[in-house]
Structure 1
Amino acid sequence: MENKRNLGQVAALYPMLVTVVGVMTGAKPNWLLISYVGHVSHSEMMISCSKAHHSHKFIQENKKLSINIVDEGMLPEADYVGRVSAADADKSAVFEYELGAAGTPVIKAAPVTMECSVIDIYETEFFDNFILRIENTYAQERALDKAGKLDYAILKPVVFEMPTYQYLLTGKVLGKCRQLGSQ
């Protein structure tokens, strides 16, 4: 290739949305930072969780969890739950939470939370990819537009990019989908 350098087997689909997954561990929640989150369909999601994570076994046992979108105000706590293992520290009090209708821990400060049920697991050597059905989605009023729809320009979720291990802030609108180039 004349104008591109081959970087080898590099996953280049970054940046990715930063989320905190909540799962109950008995009577207490545990929090885990996960950026490998994606859509499978309009009503199904996927999270990729290392088998080495302490939370992994609770996700497998409970078959339900919450996905909490991280904004700038939550980032210090989210980063903390990503670098400290629940095997070494009790992370249950890091976030104020309440239980959602599906029984998962919903972070009060999270602008958007989805409660999900595990419907399938796709295993790889080091990661399990949990296929999830969205049961409920909760949004703070501040994250909604006048029509009551999620507005990511207002919400400004944090994204993560792997090559330099940096968090980035979203928010700038570049144009309407399927309308660019038609002017």
Structure 2
Amino acid sequence: MKRSFEKGFFAPLPVLIIGTYNANGTPNAMNAAWGGQVGMSQISVSLSSSHKTTENIRLNKEFTIAYATAEQIAACDYVGIVSGNNEENKLEKCGFTVTKSDKVNAPVIDQLPVTIECRVIDIQEEFGETRVVAEVVGLKADENVLTDGKVDYSKAGLVIYDTATKCYRKVGESVAVARSAGKKFQ
């Protein structure tokens, strides 16, 4: 018999590091788990209106999303627990360096191997949060995380956020080929 719980959860949640520039050009980043892909060319993230990142997205209408990795989890966690409203140089403090994206006005964090470059399509205030929908205009990935020219999750060391236990978990191995494993029932 299945046990009932008062609160639900949705899994997996990628750990997203959202990169922006402040009004003075200083790079900023925050850790966010409330986001995902919308169709083939858009993403959606839900952010608190009080975040410096939200202010920067409203200002610049562009941002990057890097995937957190197990190797950089302390720095990735740090940019989520320290507000850019209080610590302007938090990227420098945790050892992250950046390169300006060539597609959008936002930083690419050098230590994180996979980055999506985004341009805002829509910003909505809903349910006490700010929902940002953006078009994906570019993807950058380090050569060492590619297999046959595609991002290999097992090489990248990507992590997810486990809302049930409030911990980070490393993305694991492949278990089957999508749109192929189920063919055995045809």
Moved over 3 A (4+): none
Q: 1:134 to 1:181 in 2, by over 3 A?
A: closer
1:30-75 CA distances to partner (integer Å, 9 max, x unpaired)?
Answer: 1100111201111100111111222211111111100011111111
Matches within 5 A, 1:163-182: 163-182=164-183
Identity within the alignment, %:
28
> SS at 2:181's partner residue?
coil
Which residue does 2:134 correspond to in 1?
Answer: 132
What's the C-alpha RMSD, in Å, of the aligned pairs? Answer: 1.5
**Which letter maps to 2:4?**
N
Which residue does 2:116 correspond to in 1?
Answer: 114
1:158-180 CA distances to partner (integer Å, 9 max, x unpaired)?
Answer: 11111211000112111111222
Match of 1:24 among 21, 24, 34: 21
Which residue does 1:152 correspond to in 2?
Answer: 153
Distance 1:181 1:19 in 2: 31
TM-score by length of 1: 0.91
Matches within 5 A, 1:1-183: 3-10=1-8, 12-25=9-22, 26-90=24-88, 91-93=90-92, 94=94, 95-101=96-102, 102-145=104-147, 147-183=148-184
Unaligned runs of 5+ in 1: none
TM-score by length of 2: 0.90
1:67-109 CA distances to partner (integer Å, 9 max, x unpaired)?
Answer: 0111111111010011111122121424100001122100011
The answer on whether the counterparts of 2:79 and 2:91 sit within 8 Å (CA) in structure 1 is no
Distance 1:27 1:92 in 2: 13
Distance 2:59 2:151 in 1: 31
The answer on whether the counterparts of 1:36 and 1:48 sit within 8 Å (CA) in structure 2 is yes
Superposition deviation, residue 15 in structure 1:
2.5
Superposition deviation, residue 181 in structure 1:
4.4
